[in-house]
Amino acid sequence: MYREIIKDLKKWKDKSRRKPLLLTGVRQCGKTYIVDDFAREYFDSYVYVNFESEDSISAIFDYNFDVHRIISELEIRFKTKIIPGKTLLFLDEIQECPRAITALKYFCENLKELHVVCAGSLLGVALKEQNISFPVGKVNRLKLYPMNFKEFVIANGREDLIDVFQYWPIDRAIPELYSVPMKKLLKEYYIVGGMPEAVKAWIEAKDISEVEEVQNEIINDYADDFSKHAPAEEVLKIRWIWDSVPVQLAKDNNKFVFSHVKEGKRSADLEAALHWLEDAGLIIKTELVEKPEIPLNGFANKTFFKVYMSDIGLLRAKSGVSAHTIQNESDLYIRYKGAFAENYVLNELIANGKSPYFWRSGNSAEVDFLYESKGELVPVEVKSADNTQAKSYKQFCQRYYPKVGVKLSEKNIAQNLCIKTMTYNIPLYLAWNIDQYCEK
């Protein structure tokens, strides 16, 4: 995603009718690093404003929305000329200064030639809780996610594997020359995840203890955000739900159940806390669709859902599953192996721009994920081992006749017809390349 975001940033830079750019994403997923790198390579000068670490700067936006005055005061504060076309102005943690968010409207209308980028980790939360006037139609938006598996492979110096698999034919079995290193890297990805600091620690030291130190720091920082940014009456409930996600995901029937968060608690007690975590980007909900029709969001049951984490490495850390357990696939891993595979596939689908749901028919059948592609439904079945016998998937194909579908597992690549559905059996480590087969 890093390379794709840089491409998007370059396109935005070159637009003649440019709007301020808002970059969102969960805290510590690399927003500041990417914009800093982009600014230093493509601009003559760069002014970095962090509203969280320097909250007094908010005063510059308090008086009025005269963008020329605002720029003049920022130039004095940072002792740097801000020159349209040559300078990038980066407003980081912008959710801490609501008037700066509103000011984006006036930058768009009155100073279009200036490149303005904003970033916010908890912007979704801030917009809902602070009643901020958001400049609808006056900003461009990009969302950054933790590094996906493809990026993890590249970061580990194996871009050659990505090049090999970019256009791998469906009718050619993958030899061990390529499958063995990819399977090894996928296990490492389950352990490390895609948070940039954790990936960096792994690449530099190959020491699990250093990775876990970074992961625990991130988890603790998120917990601090609960206390700092959430309503006081919701903080404890948010912690309960946050701690409950790995446990509920590992259940055989992994529907999220509020009463399993805390005994005696109901959805009415905990729903606001769940929404807070979702708005913060820390969790991802997939909703049930019993009668799949397009658009899927119009037929989703918003009261019946599963909850996943935004990063597979943080899921592993919060689950308490050791790296050794994953690497050796010991019996202790059985309970979580399926949950990890599902969470991983969901993150890959979202990184590829999908909006996944899931299908269930009573208690008899379930397809893990379902998304829309070019006006068609694509069912996705996830198996954590090499068993691709999927009765539920077959039942779905018998009822709804999708044109294409996917089974992701540890099995080698292949294709076959399931009823009338062209089904692609793809190794889990190729989830990042699902469109290569489904969108031909």
Pairing mode, strands 115-120 and 21-24: parallel
Pair 340, 217 in one domain? yes
Of the two residues 331 and 46, the one the predictor is more confident about is: 46
Backbone angles phi, psi at 209, to 5 degrees: -65, -35
The yes-or-no verdict on residue 427 having pLDDT over 80 is yes
Pair 131, 171 in one domain? no
Q: Is the CA virtual torsion 205, 410, 383, 159 positive or negative?
A: positive
pLDDT in tens, 197-208: 999 999 999 999
Contacts of 191 (CB under 8 A, 6+ apart): 208, 211, 313, 316, 323, 326, 327
Pair 177, 34 in one domain? no
Q: How many domains does the chain have?
A: 2
How large a percentage of the chain has pLDDT more than 70?
98
* Final residue before a domain boundary, out of 84, 115, 143: 143
Q: Is the CA virtual torsion 291, 294, 298, 304 positive or negative?
A: positive
Pair 53, 91 in one domain? yes
Query: Mean pLDDT across the stretch 306-313?
Result: 97
Pair 104, 188 in one domain? no
* Final residue before a domain boundary, out of 127, 143, 159: 143
Entry pTM: 0.92
424 CB neighbour count, 10 Å cutoff: 23
pLDDT in the model for residue 311: 97
Pair 53, 70 in one domain? yes
The yes-or-no verdict on residue 278 having pLDDT over 90 is yes
Residue 131: band (very low, low, confident or very high) from pLDDT cuts 50, 70, 90:
low
The yes-or-no verdict on residue 132 having pLDDT over 80 is no
pLDDT in tens, 350-384: 999 999 999 998 777 899 999 999 899 999 999 98
Pair 40, 99 in one domain? yes
* Final residue before a domain boundary, out of 143, 165, 186: 143
Pair 89, 161 in one domain? no
pLDDT in tens, 238-274: 999 999 999 999 888 889 999 999 988 889 999 999 9
Pair 165, 249 in one domain? yes
Residue 86: band (very low, low, confident or very high) from pLDDT cuts 50, 70, 90:
very high
Residue 439: band (very low, low, confident or very high) from pLDDT cuts 50, 70, 90:
confident
C-alpha–C-alpha distance, residues 211 and 205, integer Å? 9
Pair 90, 43 in one domain? yes
The yes-or-no verdict on residue 402 having pLDDT over 70 is yes
Pair 175, 266 in one domain? yes
The yes-or-no verdict on residue 345 having pLDDT over 90 is yes
Q: What is the mean pLDDT of the chain?
A: 92
Residue 130: band (very low, low, confident or very high) from pLDDT cuts 50, 70, 90:
low
Pair 96, 191 in one domain? no
What range does the domain containing 375 cover? 149-438
Residue 22 is part of a domain; what is its CATH number? 3.40.50.300
pLDDT in tens, 145-166: 999 999 999 999 999 999 999 9
Instruction: With beta carbons less than 8 A apart as the criterion, state whether 388 and 409 touch.
Output: yes
